[in-house]
Structure 1
């Protein structure tokens, strides 16, 4: 059996206001955000802004997307958080214009320092570049930047930066190929 007598219990790394706001947000998500009809993106954008998110007019947050702390979320024009996306935004999460995060994906900005006996929380921001696509059920780890136009394949686990216009897949994600657009659209 492991000797836990030397492990010190630390106070929460989250200040009181943060915990209170997350409780209020959790209730709001459960009562007003989650049950909203699918096409009511404007209503959900307004609720996210109410809690400090920076959300562009044409962003598309879907009703089943879970957002841990809206005040750490930025969604630019045309960006999308799909159904059942888990956005664990202890640190900043930024979706650049027209970035898409598909269903069941997990954006994780926090982990724990496994080398420390108390395993304190460590955080790093995530950035999803312009026109990038995170396909279904992918995992994006802390500190990852997905470059412009990059594609993260379904069920991939990304722990390092993905270069622009690159397709990656697998666990851990590896480069599959580079590509370019045939024609430019808005």
Structure 2
């Protein structure tokens, strides 16, 4: 069993920003980003950028978004980040272009070794390639790589490599189909993934 009374943060891990920056983010930046009473997307993009996030043009960010460490977040162009999505990015999260992360999705980059009494922290980044849809309440585990054009269905729990254009459903998620080319993502778009 884990010995939480003796747990300590691994000495090799660092949150990636100074104590002052982290304090301002947690006391001011994070609550503003998540505020439901403040409409608008452009200022949320600017806020994340001010704290070190790399956010491409044309992104839409909904109220309620949570980001643990914006300086470990990279988002491509024309992405949508939905209400109450949570980027728990103790390790880097990188997303390509035209990615939709729907309401309540959880991207988790850290867990613990429950087999060890030391309950050691285990971290691994998440990569989401172009043209992916992560549906509402889906969960991406540490180390997940989602191939271009894939769909992670409602409340799916994903770990590991997701093939390009795969449709993943369930807990644990399995491939249940292949995404076909649609009128919404014609191959004439520069850089668009073709799944047809």
Alignment of 1:108-127 (within 5 A): 108-127=108-127
Higher relative contact order, chain-length normalized (CA < 8 Å, sep 6+): 2
Counterpart position of 1:169: 169
Residue matched to 2:82 = 82
Report the alpha carbon displacement of residue 32 of structure 1 after superposing the two structures with TM: 3.1
Structure 1 residue runs without a partner (length 5+): none
Q: Following TM superposition, by how much is the alpha carbon of 1:162 offset from its aligned partner in structure 2, in angstroms?
A: 0.8
**5 Å matches for 1:6-25?**
8-11=6-9, 13-14=13-14, 17=17, 19-25=19-25
| Whole-angstrom distance in 2 between the partners of 1:81 and 1:157 | 18
Q: Distance in 2 between matches of 1:170 and 1:3?
A: 29
TM superposition score normalised by structure 2: 0.83
| Secondary structure at the counterpart of residue 77 of structure 1 | coil
Q: Which shows bigger deviation, 23-32 or 91-100?
A: 23-32
State how many pairs are aligned: 183
TM-score normalised by structure 1 residue count:
0.88
Deviations 1:10-68 (CA, angstroms, capped at 9, x unpaired) = 24644595554333212223553233633x22111111111110011212222211000
Q: Deviations over 1:138-162 (max 9, x none)?
A: 0100000111110011010001211
Shift of 1:180: 2.3
Q: How does 1:55-134 map to 2 (within 5 A)?
A: 55-134=55-134
- The runs of 5 or more residues in structure 2 that have no matched partner are 190-196
Corresponding residue number in structure 1 for 2:150: 150
Give the 3-state SS of the residue equivalent to 1:28 in structure 2: helix
